[in-house]
């Protein structure tokens, strides 16, 4: 995969490359996250649920249809990954 560092400085480009590789290793890299919007992610999620016949499709649709406020205009990079969120059934139980 090719990716531009948008710089002429070799040191800055090397630093960006190392950050990018670290994100890939950690599973936090989102290609073009600054151009990806919430509505794009929601459509991908719902398409995957439909394609795989997930029983919780209705719940996913309801969650996506909640008032969006400015979510659909926010870059995907503003959202944390799922594993960064506490699990609802363990919240407050110390588990």
Q: Tell me whether residue 39 is in a domain.
A: yes
The residue with tokens 């398409």 is 47
Distance of CA 26 to the CA centre of its chain: 13
Q: What is the mean pLDDT of residues 74-87?
A: 56
Instruction: With respect to residue 3, please indicate whether it lies within any of the assigned structural domains.
Output: no
Residue 2 lies in a domain: no
Between CA 4 and CA 16 the distance in angstroms is 10
pLDDT of res. 73: 55
Q: What is the pLDDT of residue 7?
A: 84
In a domain, 46, yes or no: yes
pLDDT in tens, 17-50: 898 888 888 877 776 666 777 888 888 899 999 9
Domain with 44 in it: 10-79
| Alpha carbons 42 and 24: distance in angstroms, whole number | 22
Number of domains in the chain: 1
> Taking each helix axis from N to C terminus, what angle separates 57-65 and 38-51, rounded to the nearest 10 degrees?
170
């Amino acid at each position: 995969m090719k990716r531009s560092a948008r710089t002429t400085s070799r040191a800055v480009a090397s630093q960006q490359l190392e950050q990018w590789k670290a994100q890939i290793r950690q599973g936090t890299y989102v290609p073009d996250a600054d151009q990806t919007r919430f509505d794009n992610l929601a459509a991908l999620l719902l398409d995957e649920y439909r394609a795989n016949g997930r029983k919780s499709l209705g719940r996913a649709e309801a969650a996506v249809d909640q008032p969006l406020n400015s979510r659909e205009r926010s870059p995907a990079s503003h959202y944390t990954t799922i594993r960064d969120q506490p699990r609802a059934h363990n919240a407050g139980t110390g588990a």
